[in-house]
A = this chain, B = another copy of it.
């Protein structure tokens, strides 16, 4: 937890989860993302291309549909001059009965250097990474979301967004020490929440979870230093940041939730409710949002409150940093 650990060389071969991330690793990524972000903000477009992954092949293996995350990784890879292969499950060999690992090994044999994997089942990226290591295959795996397990690049971009706000010159983990952060919504099914809990508690933030009892089990407090609330207000009181989570419509069909309207009435983030927070409070959402459900349209469109566009912009810089470290170091 000592964030003054000196960042050294990048060691990690794959990025699967943030569970065992050190402060030094977080800070390496934050600093590198910050330098990419600065270049991307330049008014000269040509400086936005970096030749660091030239000749490398990034395979985008999205077994679960995604626009936002896939495009973000794709653009990050293009900015770094990599060649990209998009695997789309609809037209794929999977329908022909091939195993996921065989599909992955095919892309390795074609020449993939980095593999970005999203899958509806928890553990798939880990399993593939372990198989590669076992086989002596030098290909890096980046988990882009697996079931309800983890979505590390999302948590890193959230972390980057918070730290950048607190110190635009030198974003670093320790800036969040003692900050109160409320995570609101469907914690139970959220890989975003799980990954954020790892990074935020590692930073020493005070993490409060809030949501309906069916979606926020008390047991979370036993596995991580967080506080669980079934009412919204205690989580919001004096909060520095409010992270809202996407509500899946299918949870209502599973009768874990009454209706979008009732959810909004009890847990939706509005200007009025944000008065409980600290002045200057900011709101995050991983997108895509259901306007008027997780948060009111007014909050979403209030540039003094919403960090949502910042999150998207920072996502590209974070993913460039991850591709850069995995693609060029720790081999």
Contact = CB atoms under 8 A, between A and B. Distances in A.
Interface of A: 40, 44-49, 53-57, 65-68, 71-72, 74-75, 78-79, 83, 85, 87-88, 90-93, 95-99, 102-103, 105-111, 113, 246, 249, 287-291, 308-313, 315-316
Contacts of A75: 57, 83, 85, 110-111
A87 B90 CA distance: 15
Contact of A87 (B67, B78, B95): B67
B55 A93 contact: no
Contacts of A246: 96
A55 B48 contact: yes
B288 A97 contact: yes
B66 A55 contact: no
A49 B45 contact: no
Contacts of A291: 99, 102
A98 to B, nearest CB: 4
Report which residue of A67, A78, A85, A106 has the largest number of chain B beta carbons within 10 angstroms of its beta carbon.
A67
Report which residue of A56, A90, A288 has the largest number of chain B beta carbons within 10 angstroms of its beta carbon.
A288
A45 B54 CA distance: 7
B309 A97 contact: no
Nearest to A64: B91
Given A88-B91, A96-B288, A110 B72 contact: yes
Contacts of A93: 67-68, 287-288
Number of copies: 3
Contact of A54 (B49, B102, B315, B316): B49
A249 B88 CA distance: 22
A185 to B, nearest CB: 15
Nearest to A138: B43
Nearest to A40: B111
B65 A74 contact: no
A40 B290 CA distance: 46
Report which residue of A71, A79, A310 has the largest number of chain B beta carbons within 10 angstroms of its beta carbon.
A71
Report which residue of A87, A107, A110, A312 has the largest number of chain B beta carbons within 10 angstroms of its beta carbon.
A110
Contact of A312 (B79, B110, B288, B308): B110
A90 B92 CA distance: 13
A309 B315 CA distance: 34
Given A102-B289, A288-B93, A79 B68 contact: no
A309 B49 contact: no
Contact of A288 (B47, B48, B98): B98
B83 A65 contact: no
Given A67-B87, A287-B98, A109 B313 contact: yes
